Amino acid sequence: MTALFPHFRALQVEIDPTVTINAIVGGSGPPLLLLHGHPQTHAIWHRVAPRLAEHFTVVACDLRGYGESSKPQGAPDHANYSKRAMAADMVAVMQSLGFATFRVLAHDRGARVAHRLAQDHPQAVERMALLDIAPTLAMYEQTSDTFARAYWHWFFLIQPAPLPERLIEADPAAYVRDVMGKRSAGLAPFDPRALAEYQRCLALPGAAHGICEDYRAAATIDLEHDRVDRDAGRRLALPLMVLWGEQGVVGRCFDPLKEWQRVAADVQGGALPCGHYIAEEAPDMLLERVLPFLVQG
């Protein structure tokens, strides 16, 4: 990974005896946490991290269950892969570096972790930008035929173990190619080194189980947590930017800005002319939008 992040240092943070989070750190200035999506790792940020590091101390992590982070056996209720647990991982990582408060830029699954992070730890997150998601609860409650066909993996990965794990483990590289390559831009946007890293990491022991548990939690305990917040009228108060790909599924099946305005008080954003993998498909446009927002405050 040093080839993709030549001026960053590697870091391992032990959260508890069962979980260690893998991260890289680089740059200087206010702390900025970067969180990736599925089926990827922190490598998604290789095209934007150097520019961000000119303004921030950038910390890019692998979520638990992904990359080189730990992949514990899922609990019966999937609580140890809940976004609450994964968000607590990130608070611990940042605190280990001496950062009590920080900003967040997150994509896909990482953006779901970031949503919970800001909800559970509002004192820690100063502002955040989320890429190509609507809130999890809204997406499940508004699932349509079009969405289910495009996001088939949402419903495949939540099947009881070990069925999806066994099928992924039969050919992890093919799973990465099929999930990522069937999006609007195909595989063309991805640096071969990054793509190889995603494939390598999904083949690691426990990785298939880890990603399945992430999605199983999202379809169960995460929805419970989100409903509690909704019923209590709890909304995010921090400045929030949401961006999505105009060629992607989220903008086609949902109204991202409207859905985030339901759960947050200070929301701005819009679509970018790309697909789902914004940081790799449109890094310059992404930086043009998020840098002015993130450097505020």
> Could you read off the pLDDT of 245-290 as tens digits, one per residue?
999 999 999 999 999 999 999 999 999 999 999 999 999 999 999 9
Kindly list the domain boundaries of the chain, sorted by start residue: 9-295
276 given a catalytic annotation: yes
Spot the catalytic one: 78, 115, 153, 276: 276
Q: Which of 62, 89, 108, 229 is catalytic?
A: 108
Active site residue 38: no
Per-residue confidence (pLDDT) for residue 1, from 0 to 100? 56
Contacts for 13-19 with beta carbons within 8 Å, 24 or more apart?
Answer: 13/92, 13/93, 13/96, 15/64, 15/70, 15/88, 15/89, 15/92, 15/93, 18/70, 18/72, 18/80, 19/64, 19/69, 19/70, 19/72, 19/89
Quote the strand ranges of 17-65, DSSP E.
19-27, 31-35, 57-61
pLDDT tens, position by position, 200-212: 999 999 999 999 9
Query: CA 84, CA 116: separation in Å to the nearest integer?
Result: 6
Please state which of the four CATH numbers 3.40.50.1820, 3.20.20.30, 3.40.50.300, 2.60.40.180 is assigned to the domain occupying 9-295.
3.40.50.1820
Would you say the C-alpha torsion 39, 43, 47, 52 has a positive or negative sign?
positive
pLDDT tier for residue 191 given thresholds of 50, 70 and 90: very high
Instruction: Specify the DSSP class assigned to residue 24.
Output: E
Condensed to tens digits (0 to 9), the pLDDT of residues 20-34 reads 999 999 999 999 999
* pLDDT tens by residue, 213-224: 999 999 999 999
Which is nearest to 39 in space by CA: 170, 272, 209?
A: 209
Question: What is the SS3 assignment for 59?
Answer: strand
